[in-house]
Amino acid sequence: MHAPIVFVTDFGADDTYAAALAAACWRVDPGLTALAGMHGVPPGDVLAGAYHVKAIAQALPPGAVICAVVDPGVGSERRAIAVEAGGLRCVAPDNGLASYLWAESDPRQRRCVALRTPPEASATFHGRDVFAPAAARLATGHSLDDLGDPIDAPPRLCEDAFATTAKDQTELAGAVCAVDHFGNAITTVRAADLHGRAVAAVEWPGGATTTSVRTYQEIAHGLAVLTGSAGHLEIAARGRAAAAIGGPQPHDPVRLRLQP
């Protein structure tokens, strides 16, 4: 049985690009039918893509393959890689898409190879011609070593992906890494970054909240902070987008004050 493949791209679902990834897998093996995808990463937004790679990784069974393509540098000299980390495999351009997957996995059980680009690949569509075929080969039983040579340096990481601690560990500084379909503003601050301490306040340009909740249903009015399903803190309103009532915008910085 083949390993499942999930695509994470900024292609949108309204073009042929997303469907072409499935088609390219079927060129390798038409039996590859455990395929799913999210194609709504904002165009060129590598940080949002990295978050979504992490979020889908948490739902996947061991051995699954993520094919991540947010690739404004297609056709240029940027490297293409395949990563093994956290029990999963991920192919992607080497631009930070694997940031969370790499940084949050056991250093003794992760590795990275550089993919070979076939000379006949289109200059504008490596998703179809490089990444999907590589994902298909992994899903059908090939190992990372069949796809390319190990690289010494780790993959590139997004600078902004990880919240920083300041003021004697009572403050955390991060950013909004993704805004979901419901308008919840997901931040780079993870529940684990709190080390068990409670949130006193979250601030962003032009707004703040001191309300913490466990579920969306508990939000009586205004904005609140809660831990989303991938373990990141998010700013949410009830029944509408956080930004509609003063919540943060994509990529806005956020600052958390923790209770002592």
Per rule CB under 8 A, is residue 24 in the interface with a second copy?
yes
Question: Which residue, 33 or 143, is less far from a second copy as judged by CB?
Answer: 33
In whole angstroms, give the CA distance from residue 57 to residue 211: 29
Question: Which residue, 61 or 141, is less far from a second copy as judged by CB?
Answer: 61
Instruction: Print the binding letters for residues 174-203 with a second copy: x by CB under 8 A, - otherwise.
Output: ------xxx---------------------
Per rule CB under 8 A, is residue 205 in the interface with a second copy?
no
Site for a second copy in 107-166 (CB under 8 A): 122-125, 128
Find residue 92's DSSP bridge partners: 81
Backbone angles phi, psi at 31, to 5 degrees: -80, -5
Taking the complex as a whole, how short is the minimal distance between the CB of residue 132 and a second copy, in angstroms?
A: 9
Q: From residue 19, give the alpha-carbon distance in Å to each of 11, 15, 127, 134, 207.
A: 10, 8, 11, 16, 41
Per rule CB under 8 A, is residue 8 in the interface with a second copy?
yes
Per rule CB under 8 A, is residue 244 in the interface with a second copy?
no
In 3D space, the residue among 52, 89, 88 whose CA is nearest the CA of residue 70 turns out to be 52
Site for a second copy in 26-45 (CB under 8 A): 26-27, 30-40, 43-44
Residues counted in the chain? 260
Number of chain positions touching a second copy (CB under 8 A):
67
Q: Count each helix (H run) and each strand (E run) in the chain, helices first.
A: 6, 15
Stretch that binds a second copy, among 10-18, 98-106, 148-156, 252-260 (CB under 8 A): 10-18
Per rule CB under 8 A, is residue 6 in the interface with a second copy?
yes
Between strands 35-38 and 65-69, the pairing is: unpaired
In 3D space, the residue among 227, 175, 233, 177 whose CA is nearest the CA of residue 205 turns out to be 175
Which alpha helices (H) appear in 141-222, and where do they start and end? Answer: 144-147
Q: Which residues would be at the binding site for a second copy (CB under 8 A)?
A: 1-4, 6, 8, 10-20, 22-24, 26-27, 30-40, 43-44, 52, 55-56, 58-61, 64, 72-76, 122-125, 128, 180-182, 214-218, 226-230, 239
